[in-house]
Amino acid sequence: MDKDLLPKRSFAQKYHVRGIGGTILFFFLLWGSAVMTGVNWGDFFTNLDQFFDLLSRMAHPAWDYTNIVIQPIIETIQMALIGTTIGTLIAIPFSVLAARNLVKNPIVRGIIRFILNLVRTLPDLLLAALFVAVVGIGSTAGVWTLAVFSFGMISKLFYETIETIDDGPLEALRAAGANNVQVVVFAVIPQVLNSFVSYFLYTFEINVRASTVLGYLGAGGIGVYLQRSLSSFRYDQTAVIVIAILLVVIVIDAVSNKLRERLQ
């Protein structure tokens, strides 16, 4: 084939200017961040023995502590379940109002999305600190933290799901004289229900993991015991707690993954 007939690549395309430039920039930023934060590789390795010391002390878990741990770990799961449920229930109407294919009015949608973006910028630890200050130390603070956190996360997942549905059935329902609520009930919900349940389980998984740490700030659950054992240098108890958390997270992840696979 005659080479002159092919379209010409621009200079940037021919020498991969973007790819090479981006890589150089990335390494430059990496190096810059290391210098500014004073990362010291020497310190990291000289302190490794402390790490092993900790590990060896955790190597003999205080198994009799297990009975005490069971109650707070159940509380942690309950916190996650209630928090996720409350967050999901509030997220449903918001996600409907934020979906481009359901709400044509850009102002309503804009306001709703602004609120959702705002909620999502709050990290869960900050929320926990906030709610502990408002409702006091205990699992109530944890539940509210997880509710707000899951609300922000789920509403975004939900409205993005709603925006991917087939608009055909919506048109058919409108053409049959259905009002907006009826369109949502008969044409939207059947299309999104499985994804919604799947996202609920996914958020629940994340919340179980998150709620183990929330106790650190006084928001109830197993985290309270984690903090107590660490600050009293009872690493044998810490080991029991870590193992318990690990088991619970693995079991819940496995169950939820199985369920979500079935929903596909």
Binding site for another protein (CB under 8 A): 166, 168-169, 171-179, 181-182, 185-187, 190-191, 193-194
- Within the chain, how many helices (H) and strands (E) appear? 13, 0
- Closest separation in Å from C-beta 180 to another protein: 9
Residue appearing with tokens 């705002």:
118
Q: How far is the CB of 156 from another protein (least distance, A)?
A: 23
Kindly tell me which of 5 and 175 has the beta carbon lying closer to another protein.
175
Task: For the CB of residue 170, give the shortest distance to another protein in the complex, in Å.
Answer: 8
Please name the residue that has the structure tokens 């002159």.
4
Q: Are 73 and 244 in contact (CB under 8 A)?
A: yes
Min dist. Cβ of residue 193 to another protein (A): 8
C-beta of residue 192 within 8 angstroms of C-beta of residue 198: no
- Specify the residue, 60 or 262, whose C-beta has the smaller distance to another protein: 262
**CB of 182 or CB of 232, closer to another protein:** 182
Q: Which is nearer to another protein, 53 or 171 (CB)?
A: 171
Rounded distance between C-alpha atoms, residue 97 and residue 105, angstroms: 10
Q: Rounded to whole angstroms, how far apart are CA atoms 219 and 211? A: 8
Q: Do 221 and 211 meet the contact criterion of CB atoms below 8 Å apart?
A: yes
